[in-house]
Amino acid sequence: MRPVMSMMIALLLGPVFAAGTALAAPTGDFDWPLRPRPAIVRAFDNPEHDWLPGHRGVDLAATPEQSVLSAGDGIVVYAGTVAGKPVVSVDHPGGLRTTYEPVTASIPLGRRVNRGDPLGTVVPGHPGCPAPACLHWGLRRGREYLNPLGLLHHGPLRLKPVDPP
């Protein structure tokens, strides 16, 4: 993305996307992993270096046992436990991988899914979650963490003059 366009998007979308945040290009092929549209309770905070603390995804307010949906078309490449937390990961075209936790999987490994297909249910107990439950939604391209909110189509951008004639 050209620097001017990147700056315009950061200005228009304000707090949703912090300046300098790595974003996946929105294509309209992805949607929220929870219905109805959830509140964002913790934003993406990618550290400057891999070993530094940060938040490599977004936390979305949920309810215990709420259905988690695939954000886009892909293949379930992981449905199991990581560090004691139940996790589901889906590979999407273009080298993207979305991850959902804590989620008890209801779908087997290797299953092809479409956007909106159920993957499992949210498990309560996500550390630091101010809601009854939270879904941590992550996104990577290879080893690079990206802001999953960049997958969402936010409608057409309409630029207006700063000082109308």
Question: What are the pLDDT digits (tens) for 76-101?
Answer: 999 999 999 999 999 999 999 999 99
- 163's CB contacts (< 8 A; 6+ apart) are none
- Which token pair is 68? 């988690």
> What does pTM read for this prediction?
0.75
Map tokens 């940060």 to a residue. 54
Contact 29, 72 (CB under 8 A): yes
Contacts (Cβ under 8 Å, ≥6 apart) of 96: 24, 72, 74, 139, 140, 141, 146, 151
Please give the CATH architecture assigned to the domain spanning 3-151.
Answer: Distorted Sandwich (2.70)
97-150 residue pLDDT tens: 999 999 999 999 999 999 999 999 999 987 788 889 999 999 999 988 999 999
Q: pLDDT digit string (tens) for 17-75?
A: 333 344 444 445 899 999 999 999 988 877 776 665 656 789 999 999 999 999 999 99
